[in-house]
Structure 1
């Protein structure tokens, strides 16, 4: 029994568990909207596009979070502008923009001398989370979670039927760009813990799993939060004994949960239809 509780005795592990609990609500709730709107690739695009902002912030000696947020919003706004002023579809535009910005970030990184390792930017450093990182994650979590709870009904209508949302007087553009802003802010919050690449898993996986399980959006958000908490804390705990990185282990556990949920629903469906 004492061995099972051993990971909780170390301060760096305690910080990792704490940042996981802080990041779970905003990422899980936001993933529900992204899955319903078909914006999964948008989360991928913004997370990759953040890299040049991080590097430029380091060069200019300003907080990395400011550069990351600025780059994320630039990617989101540029994607929207190109989509509205060309015949190219949104997923194609996002692919071009995020790959270009990610490549620009890598080129910038190779030209500077930095004490920030590229792996920590791309994949996070959950075991290196400090008090300042916890404060940042907590503030971002509070703001994003609060906004999503207040405007979730408007955002839900906008996700399903933008035309009706506009017809009843909702400010569709405010909802559109507000969601993009919240998405960029959330990715900034996950930067230290899970990095740019693995942040995509937190912004897609929970919503996808909850979508398979529930039919009501309120329940979908609650299930997504539970899945995220289980995946992050379970991944951190297992990584201690497996001697692996916490963030990839958590994403791997979330993927396993998705596959298990999919298999269960498939079996359930075939049982009801009499195929089994």
Structure 2
């Protein structure tokens, strides 16, 4: 048991593990909606769209979360606007928004003389996370979970059949804005800990693994959250004992979980499917 308890002797490890648990629950639940709507790339778009907002907020000396949230929401609006005003498909619109906002963010960071470390924003530094950051992630997680619980049936209908939801009078525009706000808040709250790159992996990989293992949305959220927490904790312990960066260790653990689900899922696994075909 010493190997399990030894990291807990350090305050920075306790804070990092707590943040990992919270993000492991939050990110896959939000990512489930992106995956089911086949818009997983939108998480990457929002993650990079917040960069100009961070640079401007830092320059104006206002809370970073405000600038990042406004910029992230504007990025989703631009994606939707391009899609609605042209024949361009959503994946192309997301790629255009992704590259443009990321480039604008780099320009603003350089021209405004930002004090933020761009490398930390890209890759994160979960070992330096402060208690205030953990509380911020916890509050965002609580707000998202309450929203999902209260509007679960409406979101379920909207996710699988947006045209049908609109036909029966559901406020699909408000629901879409609320979902985009939840995605943006999740990314903004998690960026300092895990960076742009890993936050997308946390949103997509556990949800994708759960998609292969389950058939219902609520089970997909639960299994995804469980895999997210497991991957964060396992990655943190690996980084502690092998002396590797925490973010990449968590990301590789996430991929390992997805790979196991891809190979051994009872209904959709590559190996289990082949075994069933050979028996037939």
Shift of the alpha carbon at 1:33? 0.9
Secondary structure of residue in 1 paired with 2:116: coil
Aligned equivalents of 1:47, 1:275: Cα separation in 2: 46
Q: Could you say which residue in structure 2 is the equivalent of 1:117?
A: 117
Shift of the alpha carbon at 1:57? 0.6
Q: Could you say which residue in structure 2 is the equivalent of 1:205?
A: 205
Q: Report whether the alignment pairs 1:15 with 2:19.
A: no
Q: Could you say which residue in structure 1 is the equivalent of 2:152?
A: 152
Q: Could you say which residue in structure 1 is the equivalent of 2:244?
A: 244
The list of structure 1 runs, each at least 4 consecutive aligned residues, that deviate by more than 6 angstroms after superposition, is none
Q: Could you say which residue in structure 2 is the equivalent of 1:138?
A: 138
Contact persistence 2:55–2:114 (CA under 8 A): no
Q: Report whether the alignment pairs 1:266 with 2:270.
A: yes
Shift of the alpha carbon at 1:272? 1.5
Contact persistence 2:59–2:114 (CA under 8 A): no
Shift of the alpha carbon at 1:275? 6.3
Aligned equivalents of 1:83, 1:216: Cα separation in 2: 29
Contact persistence 1:27–1:186 (CA under 8 A): yes
Shift of the alpha carbon at 1:228? 0.3
**Deviations, residues 223-259 of structure 1 (Å, cap 9, x unaligned):** 0010000001111111001111212211110001111
**Deviations, residues 95-142 of structure 1 (Å, cap 9, x unaligned):** 111110101111121234444221111111101111211121111111
Aligned equivalents of 1:112, 1:168: Cα separation in 2: 49
Shift of the alpha carbon at 1:41? 0.8
Secondary structure of residue in 2 paired with 1:169: coil
Aligned equivalents of 2:227, 2:172: Cα separation in 1: 30
Ranges in structure 1 where 5+ consecutive residues have no aligned partner? none
Secondary structure of residue in 2 paired with 1:5: helix
Q: Report whether the alignment pairs 1:51 with 2:58.
A: no
Spell out the pairing of 1:168-247 with structure 2 (5 A cutoff): 168-247=168-247
Contact persistence 1:25–1:145 (CA under 8 A): no
**Deviations, residues 175-227 of structure 1 (Å, cap 9, x unaligned):** 11111111111101111111112111011111100000011111111100100
Contact persistence 1:50–1:196 (CA under 8 A): no
Q: CA RMSD for the aligned pairs? A: 1.4
Aligned equivalents of 2:97, 2:114: Cα separation in 1: 25
Spell out the pairing of 1:23-62 with structure 2 (5 A cutoff): 23-62=23-62
Aligned equivalents of 1:157, 1:235: Cα separation in 2: 35
* Structure-2-length-normalised TM-score: 0.95
Ranges in structure 2 where 5+ consecutive residues have no aligned partner? none
Contact persistence 1:48–1:197 (CA under 8 A): no
Aligned equivalents of 2:217, 2:210: Cα separation in 1: 9
